[in-house]
Amino acid sequence: MINPILQIPNIQLAGDSTAVLNYQRDPRNYVTQLFGEQLPAIQNGFFNVHMSKGIIVQPHWHTNTTEMIVLISGEITTSVFDPFARRRINYHLKPGQVSIFPKGWFHWFVADTDDVHLLTIFDQPTPDIVLGADFLAATPPEVAHRAYCIDEEAYAQAVASIQNDAILGPPIGCVKSISDQVSPASKTKG
């Protein structure tokens, strides 16, 4: 069956993946996009992601799509939680290498170098995204205590500063330095 969108006269089959800014942390760390909203004929969609060393794309998952990371420049470490083996899998990527995040699997990635550029390509025209920040901020302190024996006051204080829209972290002004958060010794290949 032919996609009816492709039968529209004068269908546009080209787009600019830098025209729509999705998120900007600062001038060196930002995300642009090209999805069905910008290019109706597209059968997938993607983010252009630019990051500097130590920046993380916050933990999240997608309810409706598998994601593929294609590294263009720099180096990153991708991490995904395998819900069947109940373990984290890490991959250190260099330009031209790819990593897959299956639909529904919790994942994140960190820039290991400056001048990282990558594409996150989805198998749907628009991904649904559940951010870890949203999940943490929505969990009441009493639930965190009951489920995990976490001190309610400590949990409430820890999640109070979460910026739900901070796709690229850590948030500007974070007390802990980025270099303290990225340890080459902690990287493993799964």
pLDDT tens column, 24-54? 999 999 999 999 888 888 889 999 999 999 9
The answer to whether 101 and 107 are in contact (CB under 8 A) is yes
pLDDT at 7: 83
- Of 70, 66, 6, nearest in space to 42 by CA: 6
pLDDT at 183: 43
pLDDT at 189: 45
Query: Measured between alpha carbons, how far is residue 60 from residues 5, 19, 150, 184, 189 in Å?
Result: 31, 24, 22, 23, 20
Task: Report, as ranges of residue numbers, the positions in the chain whose pLDDT lies below 70.
Answer: 163-164, 175-190
Question: Helix, strand, coil: what percent of the chain each, to 5?
Answer: 20, 35, 45
Query: Taking all residues of the chain, what is their mean pLDDT, rounded to a whole number?
Result: 89
pLDDT at 166: 79
Q: Which residues contact 79 (CB under 8 A, 6 or more apart)?
A: 88, 89, 90, 91, 107, 108, 109, 110
pLDDT at 17: 94
pLDDT at 188: 46
